[in-house]
Amino acid sequence: MPLLILFIAIPILEIFLFLQVGSLIGTGWTLLIVVLTAVLGTYLVRSQGRQALTALRRSMSEFSDPSRPLVTGAMVLVAGALLLTPGFFTDTVGLALLTPLVQRKLFETLRNRIQVFEAGAAERPRPASRDDGVIDGEFTEVPPEQKPTHRPSGWTRH
C-alpha cells in the first residue's frame, strides 16, 4: 500500500512543481533545467558508478567486506534512474543520493536495520570427538571411464 501511495503522490508532486516553477521562471527555462539536470546526472552517475565499481573490485580482491561498495553502487544506480526521470523532486532526491554524506548516513541506517549472519559464525552442533584416528565419511563409487565415441580433437588426451 505505501508503494501505491508513492506511485500516485510523486507524479502529482512533480506536476505541481512543474506548474509552480514554470509560472515563476517560464516554460522554456523550466524545460532547460530539466534537460540540464538529466545531462549533469548522467555525467555524475557515470563517474561515481566507475568509482563504486572500482571500490567493489578492490574489496573483492582484498577479501574485505563488500557491503559498503555494493550499497553505494545501488544508490548510484537509483540516483541515475531518478535523475533521468523528468521532475524537480526526483532530481533533488537523485542528486542527494550522489552526495557522500547522504550515502554514508543511508548506509549506516541500513546497516543498523539489517542483521547479517556470517558463514560459519553460528554454532553448529558438533559430534562427540573421538581420538582413535577414525574419520567418518561417505563415499560414492565412480564408474570406470568410458571410451569416447568421437575421434580425438588433438587438443585433449584420450
Sketch the domain layout of the chain as residue ranges: 9-113
Q: Using pLDDT thresholds of 50, 70 and 90, give the confidence band for residue 149.
A: low
Write out pLDDT tens, residues 72-129: 999 999 998 898 888 899 999 999 999 999 999 999 998 888 876 666 555 555 555 5
Instruction: Kindly indicate the confidence band of residue 150, based on its pLDDT and cuts at 50, 70 and 90.
Output: low
Q: What is the DSSP string of 29-92?
A: HHHHHHHHHHHHHHHHHHHHHHHHHHHHHHHHHTT---HHHHHHHHHHHHHHHHHHS-SHHHHH
Q: What is the pLDDT of residue 125?
A: 52
Q: What pLDDT sits at residue 60?
A: 86
Residue-wise pLDDT for 24-72, tens only, equals 999 999 999 988 988 888 888 888 889 988 998 998 888 888 888 899 9
Q: What integer pLDDT is reported at residue 28 of this predicted model?
A: 92
More confident residue, 132 or 55: 55
pLDDT digits (tens, 9 = 90+) for 112-125: 888 766 665 555 55
